[in-house]
């Protein structure tokens, strides 16, 4: 059991360490400088489309070395652990990862999930920063996100309002082995930072699940393009790797290109969220990822904690008009109308 408190950027023990940290902070995105991490390229099923991969009780041999890539860990502070500007990791499972060893872990090592969680939360916030959130636009969870990795139960990753902490479970495929699970949970943290207490109605909760799924897809696609990683499974499939334990092939926790409409609601947030996530995916198809994601995230600042689909759709449509004009407004409206959302 290890506990590390977040000590902040300038608690460095030595000037040398502080300077090393500063170098990491100022390195351009995607640069190979700085400490290297061994990672999955979003996840091993997405990058290979090998639907026969299985967890095999967390065996290192179950996933070929070709499923791993190496990329820089960015925005770290000088602590030597997974603590930085946009994320810090605590683990209740195994020893804490060491930055110096981050390029050597495999999926059987507890530290691999710690590294994945740090990398993908940082990557997600860098993506939002790249969209202008935190500069041109208000920040969207632009703080160090606490992350806890523990071992209780299967598929129990969640975001907790009280601590604003993300927790990743280790059931089936360890949840943080799949970047789309990591980014989905980060989506909840983004929503909560934008609108404290967001998600108090079923429809608001469904929007939260939908945004998490959508963010996972869009951040993963952006990273694959940025690093030159393969993306061989369907773009619309969420958590292709985590889902090998509970979904028939092609393995998906959920998809963001389903056909559900508003009248198909069943009052369950994950099920009903697929109405909203399809609308977001259509907005992306129509406006392109960057424009769509700027509109989608910026609109969310205006959602009530207990918003309805109808109100949230109208806010998103108005945001598209304010940012990009009438053609974008029409594209967004059409995406929500196609889902039968009333009042748009």
Residue number with CB closer to Ca ion (233 or 317): 233
Give φ, ψ of 94 to 5 degrees: 75, 175
CB of 175 to Ca ion, least distance (A): 4
Residue number with CB closer to Zn ion (109 or 209): 209
Query: What's the CA gap between 216 and 227, in Å, rounded?
Result: 16
CB of 205 to Ca ion, least distance (A): 21
**Interface residue list for Zn ion (CB under 5 A):** 209, 212
CB of 242 to Zn ion, least distance (A): 12
CB of 201 to Zn ion, least distance (A): 15
Q: Which does 110 bind (CB under 5 to 8 A by kind): Zn ion, Ca ion, none?
A: none
Beta-carbon contacts of residue 116 (< 8 Å; ≥ 6 apart): 39, 40, 176, 177, 179, 182
Residue number with CB closer to Ca ion (253 or 344): 253
**Interface residue list for Ca ion (CB under 5 A):** 46, 58, 107, 155, 171-175, 237, 240, 242
Which contiguous run of DSSP H or E holds residue 36? Answer: strand 36-40
Residue number with CB closer to Zn ion (189 or 279): 189
Query: What's the CA gap between 189 and 288, in Å, rounded?
Result: 24
Q: State how far the alpha carbon of 6 is from the alpha carbons of 40, 78, 109, 224, 319, in Å.
A: 26, 11, 23, 30, 36
Query: What's the CA gap between 196 and 34, in Å, rounded?
Result: 35
Residue number with CB closer to Zn ion (209 or 282): 209
269 CB-side CA count, 13 A: 18
Q: Which does 237 bind (CB under 5 to 8 A by kind): Zn ion, Ca ion, none?
A: Ca ion
CB 96 within 8 A of CB 114: yes
Q: Which does 234 bind (CB under 5 to 8 A by kind): Zn ion, Ca ion, none?
A: none
Q: Which does 334 bind (CB under 5 to 8 A by kind): Ca ion, Zn ion, none?
A: none
Q: Which does 240 bind (CB under 5 to 8 A by kind): Ca ion, Zn ion, none?
A: Ca ion
Residue number with CB closer to Ca ion (120 or 336): 120
Among positive and negative, which fits the CA dihedral 183, 187, 193, 197?
negative
Q: What are the counts of helices (DSSP H) followed by strands (DSSP E) for the chain?
A: 9, 8
Q: Which does 58 bind (CB under 5 to 8 A by kind): Zn ion, Ca ion, none?
A: Ca ion
CB of 201 to Ca ion, least distance (A): 28
CB of 169 to Zn ion, least distance (A): 13
């Amino acid at each position: 059991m290890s506990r590390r408190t977040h000590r902040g950027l300038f608690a460095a023990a030595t000037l040398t360490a502080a300077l090393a940290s500063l170098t990491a902070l100022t390195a351009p995105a995607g640069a190979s400088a700085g400490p290297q991490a061994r990672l999955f390229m979003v996840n091993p099923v997405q990058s290979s489309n090998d639907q026969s991969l299985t967890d095999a009780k967390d065996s290192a041999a179950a996933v070929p070395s070709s499923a791993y890539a190496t990329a820089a860990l960015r925005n770290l502070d000088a602590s030597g652990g997974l603590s930085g500007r946009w994320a810090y990791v605590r683990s209740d499972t195994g020893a804490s990862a060491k930055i110096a060893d981050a390029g050597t872990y495999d999926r059987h090592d507890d530290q691999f999930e710690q590294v994945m969680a740090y990398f993908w939360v940082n990557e997600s916030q860098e993506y939002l920063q790249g969209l202008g959130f935190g500069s041109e636009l208000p920040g969207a969870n632009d703080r160090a996100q606490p992350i806890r990795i523990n071992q209780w139960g299967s598929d129990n990753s969640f975001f907790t309002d009280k601590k604003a902490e993300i927790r990743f479970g280790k059931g089936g495929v360890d949840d943080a082995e799949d970047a789309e699970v990591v980014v989905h949970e980060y989506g909840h943290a983004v929503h909560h930072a934008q609108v404290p207490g967001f998600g108090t109605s079923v429809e608001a909760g469904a929007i939260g699940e939908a945004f998490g799924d959508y963010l996972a897809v869009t951040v993963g696609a952006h990273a694959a393009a940025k690093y030159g990683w393969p993306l061989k499974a369907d773009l619309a499939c969420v958590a292709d790797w985590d889902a090998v334990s509970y979904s028939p092939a092609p393995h998906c926790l959920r998809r963001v290109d389903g056909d559900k409409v508003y009248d198909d609601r069943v009052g369950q947030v994950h099920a009903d969220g697929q109405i909203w996530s399809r609308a977001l995916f259509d907005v992306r198809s129509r406006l392109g990822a960057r424009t769509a994601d700027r509109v989608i995230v910026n609109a969310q600042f205006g959602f009530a904690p207990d918003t309805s689909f109808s109100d949230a759709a109208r806010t998103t449509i108005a945001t598209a008009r304010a940012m990009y004009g009438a053609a974008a407004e029409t594209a967004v409206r059409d995406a929500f109308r196609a889902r039968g959302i009333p009042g748009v």
